[in-house]
A and B are shown apart, each in its own frame.
Chain A
Amino acid sequence: MAESTSVDAHTHTGRGDHHSPRPRKPTRIDFLKPHLNDESVKQHPEAASGVSSGRTTPIPADAPPSVQAASSARRQIRAQQKRRMFPTIDYVNRVSHFDPASDYHDFRGFFVLFWIGLAIMVITSMLRTVKETGYPFQIRQWNLFKEKIWELGLVDGAMVGSTALALPLQKLFLNGKGPLRWSQLGMAIQSIYQAVWLSFWCTYPFIRDWSWTAQVFFTLHLLAIFMKMHSYAFYNGHLSEALRRLNDLDNPEKANKAPAVRYPKPRTHLHEIPQSPSQSEPDAANQESLRQLREDLAFELSSPLGRVSYPENLNLHNWVDFIFCPTLCYELEYPRVAYIRPLEVFYKALAVFGCIFLMVITTEEFILPVLDESAVALHHSKGALDFSLILAETIGRLLFPFMITFLLTFLVIFEYILGAFAEITRFADRQFYADWWNSCDWLEFSREWNIPVHHFFRRHVYSASKNHLSRPLATLITFLISALAHELVMGCITRKFRGYGFFAMMLQMPIVMVQRSKWVRGRTLLNNVLFWCSMVLGLSMVCWTILPFMMVANQQQMCALYVLV
């Protein structure tokens, strides 16, 4: 997760105009190097001097106007390059790859072909079912879907509603006296609440014995909301601390004048991180450094677009808005488009239902019969060779439907559901995925295929832990947490926690090793082929691991695709 090649958004490129997805990633990291160097050159001296002398030598009041003008000009330039303390995600107006407004429409016809192919496939299979049974389709999963649907809705609402407790807690930490502030008890209270919340809602479906579809939906939603709550609480907590310090600075004698702590940008390397906390506060607390500190803190408290500043955002409306926004990282303000296009919302909603329908039909027509057949065949199989042959054949027959389901899942979540929510909330940054299909290894894939979660991990897990830990350790922790979350969803499907997801993740390691070797490195096409091969391999692994459970539980499922990939 170190060098993110996926998103290169700079706020200074201007709001208002849409950014299309970049053509294709720079395939070699060398291309990024100059950029990194520029960044380090730009920030290094600034950070270093910022600690000791408050960045500038103070200008005497009676200095000639020319000197004063030069100084103020320097300050303005610095203000433009200012970086926040808390790691930020740059939100820019962007459209997604498959958006009709995107610049890349060279091959749009094949996208249309994909849909027409699916439509024709469904129609012919429906015709066939009519011929055989008299009904257009017989959805065996129907009961699965409608079972406890009301309960699911109510519980889901309650789950989302219960996160609202974070808002009064934040108000409490904002005004609280003594230990009731974020840096002392607040963080602990919030963490405990989150842990309780998570364990309660995770176990709820198990206790109530929901069907696996409801459970998968609920768990995925649960995880998303959990991340939202975490982001909301921790960012606001950080801001409350900043506000406190800013207010304390009104009495400079007593205040803590340690310079504003900067979380490192995920992209900067370790050696570039300023050693700020270790440095002692400047002895001569002159006016200039105070002013600088004040400016920094005030900057931290105001939103990126400059329309809102910290305590004003602690209201119910802002919270509800954040819950609906298709992002997991809380910011005081996001770029918005001018108005909602109702037709677009309608089309996206239609596409969501259409996709789900297609997935159900694919499952019904191409996956369940195969599974049933192979279940019978496996039951009568003699010997290990026979068993594995049948298994291999089943996997071979399942690969294509799985691939289709996988692509549909991707589209329905990242293009249509998130797109619909973005349209409703007028959220302007529609880049929910980058071109993961071009990716060359799994790290790249994990960065690109789910950008909201990637941002969350980068901001709240990787950067936060990196402040205290070394870089590899931070990476490891990030991966561990991600693997745990995946394991949780897997567990919902199989009802057993066996670490299969974990195992599959580890399986990718040899592939990564091969790809890192000098024969393969730099060969984009070969790497891309390897990536797709391992994707297919991963899918068959999913089959392999899930298959026994399906036999045993006589359940029908394949949505674990959400998971492993």
Chain B
Amino acid sequence: MMTTNDTERRPSVMAHALDGLLNTPRTEREGSWTPEGSSDMSDVDGATQLRATTKADATENRSGNTTAIPSDGSEDGAFDDKRDDNRYKKKRKSIQVLIDDSGKKTQHSLTAEDFREIMRSGMQKEVEKLSGKSKARIRDLVFTRQFTTFDRQNPSASQSPFHGFFTLFWIAMALLLTRIAAWNYKEQGSVFGNAEILHLMVDRDLFVLLATDAAMCAATSFGFFLHKAIAAGYLSWGGSGWIIQSVWQLFFTGFVIFWTFWREWPWTHTVFVVLHVFVLLMKQHAYSFYNGYLSRVYRRRNLLEQKLRQLDDLNAHQGPSPTLPSVETLAATGIERPNDNTLSHRKSRGPKYSTDFTTEGSQIASIGQAIETSEPLDAEQIQAFHRVLTTEVTILDEELRGKCTTTDNMYPNNLTMNNFVEWTCLPTLVYDLEYPRQERINWWYVAEKAAATLGVIWIMIVISQAYIYPVVIETTRQKEAGMSLDERWKEFPWVVSDMLFPMLLEQLLSWYVIWECLLNVLAETTRFADRGFYGDWWNSVSFDQYARDWNRPVHNFLLRHVYHSSISFFHLSKMQATFFTFLLSAIVHEVLMFCIFHKVRGYLFTFQLTQLPLAAFMKSRWMKGRHTLGNVIFWFGLFIGPSVITSLYLIV
């Protein structure tokens, strides 16, 4: 599209070039609509194909579902296309006429030049969108339809050649339980033993716990009402909204933690409430900050629309136009780097949520200012400005629409109680206007997974009762008996070795119960179709891979709201942002430890931060290609980590 100098001299050629210019954006435009629709579709289709091999009964509703949404989307896209097409056809005609008119005047070479520049920037946006650059913008996380790895609905798991060992594992668990029961019977005369842990869990404050939990969930609606107020225009997110929300979040977390201390809850209560409070904290944060962003986009869009209306009211200034300073500078910036696509593009684009044209300094801002000061504009300029503004409004609209397949859930419409309650129940921490959903709920599956949840929790209680509790009691007894620190240090290796295997089991089981059972129950009851709650972290060759894979919801949250936000908000480099993310996660874990043990020691904090150099080491050239060795180191760390940390907290 870069026309050379001599084309500018010859009006007919230029007209042709402009015609081409106008045509091409249109084709790009076309491309930019359909691929988006089709890419979503192909995503979904890919998921269906993947699942096509699964059992017939499982696929039936699934495939029906997956075909339903893309057909919606494509229809919608087609409709949009047609509408746009009509609009553009009209405009194209008028422009061609216009240029044929004024083509003879040489003065217009300049205006034509900057006009083209404006067009080019608009075009590049389209190109970028087409090539997926703007798709990869930071807030985007694509939700797909998938199953968890250990789910029997997942064909790759149920057909795995090693499935037999999975069976063996659960049979071994059953045998272990039987053995413990027999042992209890022999020693204590009852198969349940003394069941101290169970008593710890249910004896005190159980209903207070439940009430607290309910109150916590209810309190999260603060963000909802705040956003209602913002949408109604009482506040602005960019001004005071985000500060209010941040203060509230801080207060919320702090108060609940204080509450656990004040009620002197046993550690089981504390762990449950503190974990839940962190989940709710992340949920609130995601909800408020995403909607806050949308609210700013929404305001800008409204502003631009207002400017468009103003532009429509303007009368074209006839005759030789006094060249506008704003347009001239605009042209100059364009001419400065006519070949540097990305840079000139970056400059021209401007932020998506700015509502103050005086400080923004982009083309759109200068246009906006020009309209505001109602400077005399000739017809061509008005036309060009109109076009740019329309494009911008369309882009903003699209931003507001997010990944919705329909427009009725666009930004201000999504602020309903219904949507908020649903969001609170969904097993994800990344807020989006729409998620892939299942057609219906399979209640048998819910029952199965719920039973699995209870069963695994029971196994965990039994194991901790039988193997961890005695060790803990023994160490606290030693401490109370007044053993010196040195003497207790001598006991340290034995405490660790006693806890190694039960702790590993507890760790694996608690991971399994949360990410495989509980989240699947939640997902099934809310018809949430993206079950990518974890990756194959057991194959990790480094700790950063593990950190990414074992807890996908939190990882996605951290990626979107901590890592990328810290890059864009605090202007950190990637390295710094990574460090900041790790630091935050380590602090949160340490807070949890503080709540459990009521003391700040920083062991877990230190261990977590050593993961950073370790991850760097794993990526170094000594470890490159040695996947087995990396996996061995990873498992070794995971094996001894929990028991060493627990023993440290217990002993020192």
How far is B170's CA from A532's CA once the two chains are assembled, in angstroms? Answer: 10
Identify which of residues 90-120 in chain A touch chain B, using a CB-to-CB cut-off of 8 Å. Answer: 97, 100, 104-110, 112-113, 115-117, 120
List 13 extra interface pairs beyond A116-B639, A437-B162, CB under 8 A. A23-B160, A23-B161, A24-B161, A97-B162, A106-B156, A109-B537, A109-B635, A116-B635, A117-B639, A121-B501, A128-B497, A131-B494, A400-B175
Contact A109 B539 (CB under 8 A): yes
Contact A109 B640 (CB under 8 A): no
Contact A529 B538 (CB under 8 A): no
How far is B632's CA from A536's CA once the two chains are assembled, in angstroms? Answer: 29
Interface, chain B (partner A; CB < 8 A): 149, 152, 156, 159-165, 167-168, 171-172, 175-176, 178-179, 182, 186, 493-494, 497, 500-501, 504, 536-540, 628, 631-632, 635-636, 639-640
Chain B residues with Cβ under 8 A from A528's Cβ?
163-164, 167
The reply on A383 being an interface residue by CB < 8 A is: no
A403-B172 contact, Cβ under 8 Å, with A435-B164, A438-B164: yes
Contact A529 B171 (CB under 8 A): yes
Q: Show 8 A/B contacts (Cβ-Cβ < 8 Å), sorted by A.
A: A110-B162, A110-B165, A112-B628, A115-B632, A117-B504, A403-B172, A438-B162, A536-B175
- Give the Cβ gap from A125 to chain B, nearest Cβ, in Å: 9
- Give the Cβ gap from A9 to chain B, nearest Cβ, in Å: 16
Q: What is the predominant secondary structure among interface residues of chain B facing chain A?
A: helix
Contact B539 A438 (CB under 8 A): no
How far is B636's CA from A113's CA once the two chains are assembled, in angstroms? Answer: 8
Identify which of residues 473-532 in chain A touch chain B, using a CB-to-CB cut-off of 8 Å. Answer: 525, 528-529, 532
The reply on A124 being an interface residue by CB < 8 A is: yes
Contact A399 B163 (CB under 8 A): no
Chain A residues with Cβ under 8 A from B631's Cβ?
108-109, 112
Chain B residues with Cβ under 8 A from A100's Cβ?
628
Checking A22, A110, A112, A127 against B497 with a beta-carbon cut-off of 8 angstroms, the contacting residue is A127
Chain B residues with Cβ under 8 A from A270's Cβ?
none
Contact A104 B160 (CB under 8 A): yes
Chain A residues with Cβ under 8 A from B164's Cβ?
435-439, 528, 532
Contact A116 B632 (CB under 8 A): yes
Q: Which residue of B lies closest to A397 (CB)?
A: B179
Q: Which residue of B lies closest to A526 (CB)?
A: B167
A399-B175 contact, Cβ under 8 Å, with A438-B161, A532-B167: yes
How far is B167's CA from A541's CA once the two chains are assembled, in angstroms? Answer: 21
How far is B639's CA from A528's CA once the two chains are assembled, in angstroms? Answer: 29
How far is B535's CA from A109's CA once the two chains are assembled, in angstroms? Answer: 12
Q: Which residue of B lies closest to A22 (CB)?
A: B161
Checking B156, B162, B168, B540 against A532 with a beta-carbon cut-off of 8 angstroms, the contacting residue is B168
How far is B493's CA from A387's CA once the two chains are assembled, in angstroms? Answer: 38
Q: Which residue of B lies closest to A131 (CB)?
A: B494
Chain A residues with Cβ under 8 A from B176's Cβ?
400
Contact A435 B161 (CB under 8 A): yes
Q: 1/0 per position for A1-27, CB-CB distance to B under 8 A?
A: 000000000000000000001111000
How far is B184's CA from A393's CA once the two chains are assembled, in angstroms? Answer: 12
How far is B260's CA from A357's CA once the two chains are assembled, in angstroms? Answer: 50
How far is B536's CA from A17's CA once the two chains are assembled, in angstroms? Answer: 28
- Give the Cβ gap from B515 to chain A, nearest Cβ, in Å: 15
Chain A residues with Cβ under 8 A from B167's Cβ?
437, 525, 528-529, 532
Contact A124 B536 (CB under 8 A): no
- Give the Cβ gap from A155 to chain B, nearest Cβ, in Å: 38
- Interface pairs A-B: 7 shortest CB-CB: A437-B164, A109-B538, A124-B497, A438-B164, A109-B539, A116-B635, A435-B161
How far is B537's CA from A120's CA once the two chains are assembled, in angstroms? Answer: 21
Contact B632 A24 (CB under 8 A): no
A113-B500 contact, Cβ under 8 Å, with A23-B159, A393-B182, A532-B171: no
A-B pairs with CB below 8 Å: how many? 106
Chain A residues with Cβ under 8 A from B159's Cβ?
23-24
- Give the Cβ gap from A27 to chain B, nearest Cβ, in Å: 10
- Give the Cβ gap from B43 to chain A, nearest Cβ, in Å: 22
The reply on A396 being an interface residue by CB < 8 A is: yes
How far is B159's CA from A100's CA once the two chains are assembled, in angstroms? Answer: 19
Chain B residues with Cβ under 8 A from A23's Cβ?
159-161
Chain A residues with Cβ under 8 A from B500's Cβ?
120, 124
Contact A104 B172 (CB under 8 A): no
Contact A112 B179 (CB under 8 A): no
Contact B160 A109 (CB under 8 A): no
How far is B156's CA from A302's CA once the two chains are assembled, in angstroms? Answer: 43
How far is B508's CA from A116's CA once the two chains are assembled, in angstroms? Answer: 15
Chain A residues with Cβ under 8 A from B179's Cβ?
396-397
**Which among A104, A131, A529 has the greatest number of chain B C-beta atoms within 10 A?**
A529
The reply on A285 being an interface residue by CB < 8 A is: no
Chain A residues with Cβ under 8 A from B632's Cβ?
112, 115-116
Chain A residues with Cβ under 8 A from B501's Cβ?
117, 121
A112-B635 contact, Cβ under 8 Å, with A106-B156, A396-B182: yes
The reply on A533 being an interface residue by CB < 8 A is: yes
- Give the Cβ gap from A61 to chain B, nearest Cβ, in Å: 57
- Give the Cβ gap from A81 to chain B, nearest Cβ, in Å: 31
- Give the Cβ gap from B180 to chain A, nearest Cβ, in Å: 10
Checking B161, B182, B493, B504 against A21 with a beta-carbon cut-off of 8 angstroms, the contacting residue is B161
Q: Which residue of A lies closest to B541 (CB)?
A: A109
**Which among A22, A124, A393, A397 has the greatest number of chain B C-beta atoms within 10 A?**
A124
How far is B639's CA from A545's CA once the two chains are assembled, in angstroms? Answer: 37
**Which among A104, A117, A438 has the greatest number of chain B C-beta atoms within 10 A?**
A438
A109-B162 contact, Cβ under 8 Å, with A403-B172, A533-B171: no
How far is B632's CA from A167's CA once the two chains are assembled, in angstroms? Answer: 48
Chain A residues with Cβ under 8 A from B504's Cβ?
117
- Give the Cβ gap from B47 to chain A, nearest Cβ, in Å: 19
Q: Which residue of A lies closest to B182 (CB)?
A: A396
Contact A109 B540 (CB under 8 A): yes
Chain A residues with Cβ under 8 A from B160's Cβ?
23-24, 104, 106-107
How far is B182's CA from A152's CA once the two chains are assembled, in angstroms? Answer: 44
- Give the Cβ gap from B550 to chain A, nearest Cβ, in Å: 11
How far is B163's CA from A399's CA once the two chains are assembled, in angstroms? Answer: 21
Chain A residues with Cβ under 8 A from B172's Cβ?
400, 403
How far is B182's CA from A55's CA once the two chains are assembled, in angstroms? Answer: 71
How far is B172's CA from A437's CA once the two chains are assembled, in angstroms? Answer: 14
Chain B residues with Cβ under 8 A from A124's Cβ?
497, 500
Contact A108 B163 (CB under 8 A): no
Contact A113 B538 (CB under 8 A): yes
Chain B residues with Cβ under 8 A from A536's Cβ?
171, 175
- Give the Cβ gap from A202 to chain B, nearest Cβ, in Å: 35
Contact A109 B171 (CB under 8 A): no
How far is B500's CA from A181's CA once the two chains are assembled, in angstroms? Answer: 67
How far is B165's CA from A439's CA once the two chains are assembled, in angstroms? Answer: 11
How far is B538's CA from A226's CA once the two chains are assembled, in angstroms? Answer: 44
How far is B175's CA from A112's CA once the two chains are assembled, in angstroms? Answer: 23
Q: 1/0 per position for A533-558, CB-CB distance to B under 8 A?
A: 10010000000000000000000000
Chain A residues with Cβ under 8 A from B640's Cβ?
120
Q: Which residue of B lies closest to A532 (CB)?
A: B171
Chain B residues with Cβ under 8 A from A108's Cβ?
539, 631
Chain A residues with Cβ under 8 A from B536's Cβ?
106-107, 109
Chain A residues with Cβ under 8 A from B493's Cβ?
127
How far is B494's CA from A397's CA once the two chains are assembled, in angstroms? Answer: 22
How far is B630's CA from A109's CA once the two chains are assembled, in angstroms? Answer: 10
Chain A residues with Cβ under 8 A from B628's Cβ?
100, 112
**Which among A106, A400, A528 has the greatest number of chain B C-beta atoms within 10 A?**
A106
Q: Which residue of A lies closest to B630 (CB)?
A: A112
How far is B639's CA from A120's CA once the two chains are assembled, in angstroms? Answer: 9
Q: Which residue of B lies closest to A116 (CB)?
A: B635
Q: 1/0 per position for A426-442, CB-CB distance to B under 8 A?
A: 00000000011111000
Chain A residues with Cβ under 8 A from B540's Cβ?
109
How far is B636's CA from A396's CA once the two chains are assembled, in angstroms? Answer: 29
Q: Which residue of B lies closest to A436 (CB)?
A: B164
Identify which of residues 111-144 in chain A touch chain B, using a CB-to-CB cut-off of 8 Å. Answer: 112-113, 115-117, 120-121, 124, 127-128, 131
Chain B residues with Cβ under 8 A from A128's Cβ?
494, 497
- Give the Cβ gap from B394 to chain A, nearest Cβ, in Å: 44
- Give the Cβ gap from A117 to chain B, nearest Cβ, in Å: 7
